[in-house]
Amino acid sequence: MRKLVVALLLGLGLVLVGCGTDKNSGNINGNWTATLTDGNGGQEFAFTTALIATGSSGSLTVNSFHFSTNSPCFVSGETESGTFALSGDFSGNVSGQLGMSVLSGSPGGNTLTLTGTVSNSTISGTWILAGSSGCSGSGKFTMTRM
């Protein structure tokens, strides 16, 4: 009887450890490609990046960011940051919110802000560009896992 109780408690402990693990953050981690379109559906920007969820605080590390479109608003030296709020189930289905900002290095003063909804391997939402003359706009974006 004692061995059965110990085995049950050990099994319950393993189940609780599995429940406490942040399985959802791993689903956003990876390489992504994004297309940003204007109000008429024309492509304004495109980029690739690697996203890494850093803990349960909602922080998001943005690595290997690279615009694949040319823009006078973002020539070099961009700085990226992000946040996330994810939820999901034990089947690996993820949903939630993502926020991301790209601050221009040269020329300075331009900020691209993305706000979107995460759904498994797709992130979609809206973007706004604010900054110097000629560097403003808005539209929709879609990011897909590569």
Domain enclosing residue 92, as ranges = 23-145
Residue 10 lies inside a defined structural domain of this protein:
no
Q: Tell me, what's the pLDDT at 9?
A: 38
Most confident of 8-17, 32-41, 89-98: 32-41
Residue 27 lies inside a defined structural domain of this protein:
yes
Q: Tell me, what's the pLDDT at 64?
A: 96
| CATH number of 90's domain | 2.40.128.30
The pTM of the full predicted model, rounded to 2 decimals, is 0.77
Q: What is the dihedral of CA 63, 67, 68, 72, to 10 degrees?
A: -170
Q: How far apart are CA 57 and CA 116, in angstroms?
A: 18
Instruction: Return the residue matching tokens 């450890």.
Output: 17
Q: Which whole-number Å values give the CA distances from 125 to 22, 96, 128, in the listed order?
A: 24, 12, 11
Q: Identify the weakest region by mean pLDDT among 1-10, 54-63, 90-99.
A: 1-10
DSSP 140: E
Residue 7 lies inside a defined structural domain of this protein:
no
Q: Are 36 and 141 in contact (CB under 8 A)?
A: yes
Q: Tell me, what's the pLDDT at 100?
A: 97
Residue 54 lies inside a defined structural domain of this protein:
yes
Q: Are 111 and 73 in contact (CB under 8 A)?
A: no
Q: Are 61 and 51 in contact (CB under 8 A)?
A: yes
Residue 3 lies inside a defined structural domain of this protein:
no
Q: Mind listing the pLDDT tens digit for each residue in 42-57? A: 999 999 999 998 877 7
pLDDT band at 28 (very low <50, low <70, confident <90, very high): confident
Residue 11 lies inside a defined structural domain of this protein:
no
Count of structural domains, the chain: 1
Mean pLDDT of 53-72: 90
pLDDT of 20 over the 70 cut:
no
Residue 6 lies inside a defined structural domain of this protein:
no
Residue 68 CA to its chain's centroid (Å): 18
Residue 4 lies inside a defined structural domain of this protein:
no
Q: Tell me, what's the pLDDT at 24?
A: 38
Q: Tell me, what's the pLDDT at 1?
A: 47
Q: Identify the weakest region by mean pLDDT among 59-63, 91-95, 138-142.
A: 91-95
Going by C-alpha positions, the residue among 7, 45, 25 that lies closest to residue 94 is 25
Q: How far apart are CA 96 and CA 81, in angstroms?
A: 17
Q: Are 128 and 113 in contact (CB under 8 A)?
A: yes
